[in-house]
Amino acid sequence: MDKGLGLAKSKLCLGCHQIDSKRVGPAFQQIAERHAQTAGNLEYLAGAIRQGGRGRWGAVPMPAQPQVSESNSIELAQWILSLKP
């Protein structure tokens, strides 16, 4: 199993996100596409995972995930960015 996918499953990311289709939150591929060429994208996404956010993808906020370690949030962000279609 892909390490990134395994981490996403273990951190329950797939409860709200899917790889290639919207669920509660945007698809990981949509996130990758939006941020692929953004300077500082890895740090930004890792921070968004841990701190949550609102208004970036619509009305439903993403709750903060402080239980995800900084190193795991970076690994998840790297994996998400690798999914750019």
Q: The whole model's pTM is what?
A: 0.93
Which one-letter amino acid corresponds to residue 65? Answer: Q
DSSP, res 15? G
Average pLDDT, the chain: 95
Share of the chain above pLDDT 70, in %: 99
Mean pLDDT within 54-79? 95
pLDDT of residue 73: 97
Domain ranges in the chain are 3-82
Q: Is a pLDDT exceeding 90 seen at residue 15?
A: yes
Residue 80 CA to residue 85 CA, distance in Å, equals 11
pLDDT of residue 85: 80
Rounded (5°) CA angle 74-11-44? 30
Helices 28-35 and 41-51, packing angle to 10 deg: 140
Hey, what's the torsion of the CAs at 57, 60, 64, 67, to 10 degrees? -100
Helix ranges (DSSP H) in 25-64: 28-35, 41-51
Classify domain 3-82 by CATH architecture. Orthogonal Bundle (1.10)
pLDDT tens-digit series, residues 17-55:
999 999 999 999 999 999 999 999 999 999 999 999 999
Residue keyed to tokens 């208004």: 55
pLDDT of residue 19: 96
